Structure 1
Amino acid sequence: MTDFTTTRTVAPPAPRPPSPRRTRGVWLLVSGLLTLLLAAAALVAVAPLRQPLPAPTVTRTLPASTVIPGKAPTMPWPTSGQAALAVPGVASLGTSGEQKPVPIGSVAKVMTAYVILTAHPLDRGEPGPSLTVSAAQAAAYPAERARGESLVPVVAGARFTERQALQAVLLPSANNMARILAAWDAGSVEAFVAKMNETAASLGMTGTRYTDPAGLDPGTVSTAVDQVTLARTAMELPAFAEIVAQKTATLPVAGKVKNYNELVGRDGVVGIKTGSTDEAGGCLAFAAVVTVGGRKVTIVGAVLGQPGADTPVQLDRVFRVTRPLVRAAAAAIRVHQVVRAGDQVATVRGPLGAATTLDASTDVAVLGWPGLPVRLDVEVPTVPAQLPAGREHGQVSAVTGEGEPVSATLAAGAALDPPSTWDRIREHR
């Protein structure tokens, strides 16, 4: 009998399913790790966004100065004596001769009139207060006439308004009226002369010394440069400018008188004062008004020490050398563009390579002549992070030696935009 042995294969037991608590723990661990990783990535990405953007920087590209191009004008200066020319509000046109103190004759009466008008101001056409010729002043007239002085006739008790007295001083160059005005203002001629010298010092006229209000005394000396300084200042007084531009005037006692300055009314000349003595020669302080580019421009000058045997010759000489100076100065002055619309004035660099330019929005033009230096000033406020194209921001100004600034606004060429969030993150990767 055969014995059979039966072999039975027993399957391994099935694994136990994980408990719900264990599964939850794994997922919490994985989720926490992912959250930490995402938070870390977010911190890395956001960190650069928390840093403030640097402000845009401005770099000036326009030079600090320029020179009006062309050949500098050559002035027809007198061959003797000394002279000076200036264009108020622009610059000096130069000088000739040694600027040393010399007698100036009746050009001294410019200071006399200036002191009177600063102490007793007049508007245009205003007569002002009256003054009366004293008996002593009238009695001095015959002796003054015998000395050959330039005078107007006066009598005791004659009354002159301030304007009439100034007309007598500035047109027919009356020495006696200069002294009468001096005593009327300061109480004595000596006290008035002290005021003249104080005024000269206050104006910076370092080469000037007055010893009398008429200029007859050769001790009254000045330079052409100083007289230009005074003439410019005096012409700012409306009554002074009005009187010296007159060809004639009607005065008490004297009647109609003429202006000794024969250039008035020619070549734009509007004054100022002649002077002539043996010691001074022919002298003239002058002003002319010309139109340049639709603007009224004043030229002021002085010529001293022109030779001649007597007053008519001396004055003729000074007139002859002054007219070419006035004409040459008028021809030299022009309007010159020193910055043109669209000219780049500065560049602006923003963060991450952003950039634009600041350009002149209009032309900038100055009065002047070839060779005249012009200062160029640029003012740009802090540039914002965003600046649209064409937006005005800042200005450029041009200034001659003593002129007022002429300005134009600046405008952005292209738009300046701040970098995007993605650009900022990518920059710091």
Structure 2
Amino acid sequence: MLDSATTQVIGPVPTRPPGHRRARGPWVLVSGLLALLLIGTAMFAVAPLRHPLPTPTVTRTVAASMTIPGKAPAVPWPDTGQAALTVEEVGSLGRSGGSKPVPIASVTKVMTAYVILTEHPLDRGEHGPKLTVSKARAAAYPAEQSRNESLVPVVAGAVFTERQALQAVMLPSANNMARILAEWDAGSIGAFVAKMNDTAAALGMKDTHYTDPAGYDPGTVSTAVDQVILARKAMKLPAFAEIVAQKKATLPIAGTVRNYNSLVGQDGVVGIKTGSTDEAGGCLVFAAVVKVGGRKITVVGAVLGQPGADTPVQLARVFRVTRPLVRTAAAAVGVHPVVRAGDQVALVRGPLGAVTTLNATEDLTVVGWPGMRVKLDIDVPEVPDRLPAEAEHGRIKAVVGGSTPVATPLHAGTGLEAPSIWDRIRRHR
């Protein structure tokens, strides 16, 4: 039996009244506000990161064109007749005397040789196929001689290589060999003349008309400008350029013949063809090679209609007015810097205000003369977000007249870095 003095009676635990909850309202409110704040902050921070960065923009800071500084060359044009002067792969130095078609005498033979060599190409030093002088061509020789034509002696059955025939045409200016070549190529002189005119039309020689392959007929007419067009094309044929630069050659029957163009070998002159008749006066299509900045540059020109009583006087006059043209062109042409290494060419603006420059890596130089217009083109690919300092990116090129473009690479100045996440968030606050 338990002792009543030590016995503890535990009554029933009272239950909580209905609807009673522990008092935690303030904590829930604070927790909710903190959660909303964190969510809002996260959304605010992430929002600018959802959008891609804008592509860096490039603004050119160099002009689209410029003029080579200095005084433009004064070309000593002849007082009479026509003249035209150009520098291969650079541009024209101009022309004088108008553009009326005039007789061109044996300058005609440039087209004769050009047609022959395009139909029957020769390499340098190659003699090519053989042609035989017909009885009819040999029989025509006395009559041609009685007219004081420029000829080489021929006999029926004589054999010339293509090269020898062209040498006869271009050096001593043999009219009879021009006719022999025409018949050999086309079957008749008329058919060959048609080829000459078709070729002139194809080359854009709009003021030229040929009536014979020798130039003896005054009905063959052209202009100095048109003859420069043809000469430039002809000088690109290796055998043509080789033949017209010769001072002499050895031919069947005739033996050694000399070039009527006495300027060959002087002032860099390497051809091309003389011409003289009463109707045409003294004529010369010429080419000269000059050295500019370690490069060889070809000057091509034509002078027509120089006065004189006979061939020696006419040719002396045309040589006298041609020399200053060649020398002026040689003195005028030079190497000119248009952009210097390190020059700023463009400004690059990256996202969020980042900036760098694109600068020329090397000097950009052109061949030309003072007063010539130079076009400057910039080619810059899309700039990435990150462009290290000195990294090559794009290029600048220069074009003068009809020259081949020259270019130099561009490189970045200071580095262009993509903005950090923090910069992007901070910038959008």
Q: AA paired with 2:363?
A: D
Q: How does 1:344-359 map to 2 (within 5 A)?
A: 344-359=344-359
- CA distance in structure 1 between the aligned counterparts of 2:416 and 2:214, rounded to whole angstroms: 69
Q: Does 1:79 align with 2:79?
A: yes
Q: Does 1:231 align with 2:231?
A: yes
Residue 31 of structure 1: how far off its partner (Å): 2.9
- CA 337–20 in structure 1, closer or farther in 2 if over 3 Å, else same: farther
Match of 2:22, SS state, is helix
Q: AA paired with 1:310?
A: D
Q: Deviations over 1:265-292 (max 9, x none)?
A: 0000000000000000000000000111
- CA distance in structure 1 between the aligned counterparts of 2:84 and 2:77, rounded to whole angstroms: 9
Which residue is 1:269 aligned to?
269
Q: How does 1:52-67 map to 2 (within 5 A)?
A: 52-67=52-67
- CA distance in structure 1 between the aligned counterparts of 2:409 and 2:343, rounded to whole angstroms: 12
- CA distance in structure 1 between the aligned counterparts of 2:412 and 2:62, rounded to whole angstroms: 15
- CA distance in structure 1 between the aligned counterparts of 2:159 and 2:31, rounded to whole angstroms: 113
Which residue is 2:5 aligned to?
none
Residue 423 of structure 1: how far off its partner (Å): 1.7
Which residue is 1:418 aligned to?
418
Which residue is 1:103 aligned to?
103
Q: How does 1:171-250 map to 2 (within 5 A)?
A: 171-250=171-250
Match of 1:346, SS state, is strand
Q: How does 1:24-423 map to 2 (within 5 A)?
A: 27=27, 30-423=30-423
Q: Deviations over 1:224-282 (max 9, x none)?
A: 00000100000000000000000000011111100000000000000000000000000
Q: Deviations over 1:201-231 (max 9, x none)?
A: 0100011000000001101000000000100
Q: AA paired with 1:68?
A: I
Match of 1:33, SS state, is helix
- CA distance in structure 1 between the aligned counterparts of 2:277 and 2:61, rounded to whole angstroms: 57
- CA 356–20 in structure 1, closer or farther in 2 if over 3 Å, else same: farther
- CA distance in structure 2 between the aligned counterparts of 1:373 and 1:31, rounded to whole angstroms: 75
Q: Deviations over 1:164-214 (max 9, x none)?
A: 000000000000000000011011000000000000001000110000000
Match of 2:395, SS state, is strand
- CA distance in structure 2 between the aligned counterparts of 1:278 and 1:231, rounded to whole angstroms: 23
Q: Structure 2: which 5+ residue stretches go unaligned?
A: 1-15
Which residue is 2:10 aligned to?
none
- CA distance in structure 2 between the aligned counterparts of 1:20 and 1:178, rounded to whole angstroms: 129
Q: Deviations over 1:16-43 (max 9, x none)?
A: 9xx9973677645543432222011100
- CA distance in structure 1 between the aligned counterparts of 2:345 and 2:151, rounded to whole angstroms: 62
Q: Structure 1: which 5+ residue stretches go unaligned?
A: 1-15
Q: AA paired with 2:169?
A: V
- Structure 1's consecutive aligned runs of 4 or more residues displaced over 4 angstroms after TM superposition are 23-29
- CA distance in structure 1 between the aligned counterparts of 2:108 and 2:210, rounded to whole angstroms: 8
- CA distance in structure 2 between the aligned counterparts of 1:20 and 1:139, rounded to whole angstroms: 143
- CA distance in structure 2 between the aligned counterparts of 1:260 and 1:24, rounded to whole angstroms: 120
- Identity among equivalent pairs (%): 75
Equivalences, count: 412
TM superposition score normalised by structure 1: 0.94
- CA 35–248 in structure 1, closer or farther in 2 if over 3 Å, else same: same
TM superposition score normalised by structure 2: 0.94
Q: AA paired with 2:89?
A: G
- CA distance in structure 1 between the aligned counterparts of 2:125 and 2:21, rounded to whole angstroms: 112
Residue 133 of structure 1: how far off its partner (Å): 0.4
Please provide the CA RMSD for this pair: 1.4
Q: Deviations over 1:107-149 (max 9, x none)?
A: 0000000000000000000000000000011000000000110
